[in-house]
A and B are shown apart, each in its own frame.
Chain A
Amino acid sequence: MNWIVFAFLAALATVSQLAVVPLFAIGHAVPDVGIIVLAAIALRTGRNTACIAGWTLGLMRDLTGGSGPGPFALTFLLAALLTNLLRGGLFPSRPVGMGIACFIAACSAHAPYGVVLAIRYGMGFWGAVGHTLAVALFTAIVGALAAKPFAKIRGVAGWAPEREMLA
């Protein structure tokens, strides 16, 4: 993977998460742009690359949010691992494949954090589940729309073509 392209995508995802995405919020649910980038990478690269990318995106989320450093680095790492396991089963250049991958990645990144918040601060278990599903659904829709643009930058980003992944 081209890490310069990754750095640019990670910075773009972080800035848009802070400045653009809140404008499209429905209630308190917003799409998670970091997860979309993570899914696009995890479906096209090896396990180690996907994990490093996921961990970095999670750490950037930690540094720009109120969670403090660490929690999202861990949950994004989990999401990268799970999404990477789906590699070969889902086609990231197709909207449906990307949408499903984004939904699974968003659920695996946000559900553990929501459960921890529910247990530690008593914010309500079903509230946490509802928020996770809303964010995951929103992320899946935006991720499906982003499937084609990500497919176009595959060469520049140094991601493996789908045929190669299936081999």
Chain B
Amino acid sequence: MRRLHWTWAVPAALAMAAGALILLQSRLPTGPRFAPFAILRPLSEWRGGGEDVKRLQAENAELLSALLESQRKAGEFEVLLKKVSAYREAGIADSPRVLPASVILGEDASTWHGTLMIDRGTRDGVRQGMVVVEGPNVVGRIFEAGETISRVRLVNDPAFRMKAAAVKKGAGAGATGILAGSGDGMCRLEYVLDREPVTEGWVIVTVADPERGWPAGLLVGDVMKGGKGAGVYGEIVVRPRADSKSLRHVLVLLGKQ
């Protein structure tokens, strides 16, 4: 009997260690875990090119900031025009500052998730939950921020969730729902009633969330299929705009100015 106990001692101890890691996941510091990836930083800088790329990144950041500012103004005018107080609260977020970042690891080893690592961390002001974009397209959100390296959860990751709206091109009104990753490279817009006429050709944009600092109007993807799903909600399949495979440089929306 004692021999039987000892033969299973190692597997049992390892299983308990794995269980403890799962339970303590959110409390484990990211620093030691991200430390090995620091060796990839020079590689990403080398791949990113020289001064020209850095200048273009800075210009891109300024242009995006200007775009968000103009979207904010458009939102203000819309609010004034429609006199809708609720929209005013949601739509008038100050334009966020943006931080250029390079992708140092574009692949996720798990085969299930869609994540990438960028060369910016808490030292640069990056925090968990911040939106990461490429131009006007949403790439994902920061879900782990180390001191100099952060991991971004892509919009197609099964664990990704974000408030978003389906908007018909040329029309202002839309249907709001929760954008969720499907794990197969696509997303779906959930909790949209099936009576909403969302069909192919509509675009998915972010909805302002002042508490989290998310701006409105950033493009997320295009509706590929819209139809009746199970229950009262429709089934809306979305193709993300940002191509995660070809990403080299991204912008992190740091928050309000």
In whole angstroms, what is the CA distance A17 to B182 when docked? 22
Q: A113 to B17, Cβ gap below 8 A?
A: no
Specify the chain B residue showing the minimal Cβ separation from A78: B15
Contact B14 A131 (CB under 8 A): no
Is A154 in the interface zone, CB < 8 Å from B? no
Counting contact residues on chain A (CB < 8 A from B), the size range is: 35 or more
Q: Is the CB of B107 within 8 A of A19?
A: yes
CB neighbors of B among A86-144 (8 A): 110, 113-114, 117, 120-124, 127-128, 131, 135
**Interface: B184 (CB within 8 A):** yes
Are A66 and B114 neighbours in the complex by a CB distance under 8 Å?
A: yes
Q: Does B4 contact A (CB under 8 A)?
A: no
- Chain B 162-204 near chain A by CB (<8 Å), digits 1 or 0: 0000000000000000001111110000000000000000000
Q: Does A61 contact B (CB under 8 A)?
A: yes
Establish whether residues B110 and A131, one from each chain, have CB atoms under 8 Å apart when the complex forms: no
Tell me which of A113, A121, A122 has the highest count of chain B C-beta atoms within 10 A of its own C-beta: A121
Q: Give complex CA distance A65, B159 in Å.
A: 13
Closest to A113 in B: B112
Cβ–Cβ < 8 Å partners of B112 in chain A: 65-67, 110, 113-114, 117, 131
- By DSSP majority rule, is chain B's interface helix, strand, loop, or mixed? mixed
- Residues of A with C-beta under 8 A to B23: 70
Smallest beta-carbon distance B118→chain A, Å: 14
Number of chain B residues whose Cβ lies closer than 8 Å to a Cβ of chain A: 38
What are 30 A-B contacts with C-beta separation under 8 Å? A17-B109, A18-B107, A28-B111, A28-B184, A28-B185, A30-B111, A47-B11, A55-B14, A55-B18, A59-B21, A61-B109, A61-B110, A62-B110, A64-B108, A64-B109, A65-B109, A66-B110, A67-B110, A67-B113, A68-B25, A69-B33, A70-B18, A70-B20, A70-B21, A71-B18, A77-B15, A77-B18, A122-B180, A123-B183, A127-B183
**A residues apposed to B, CB below 8 Å:** 14, 17-19, 22, 27-30, 32, 47-48, 51-52, 55, 58-59, 61-74, 77, 81, 110, 113-114, 117, 120-124, 127-128, 131, 135
In addition to A74-B15, A113-B110, 17 A-B residue pairs with Cβ atoms within 8 Å of each other are A28-B183, A32-B111, A48-B10, A51-B14, A55-B14, A55-B18, A62-B110, A65-B113, A68-B25, A70-B18, A70-B20, A70-B21, A71-B22, A74-B18, A121-B159, A121-B180, A128-B183
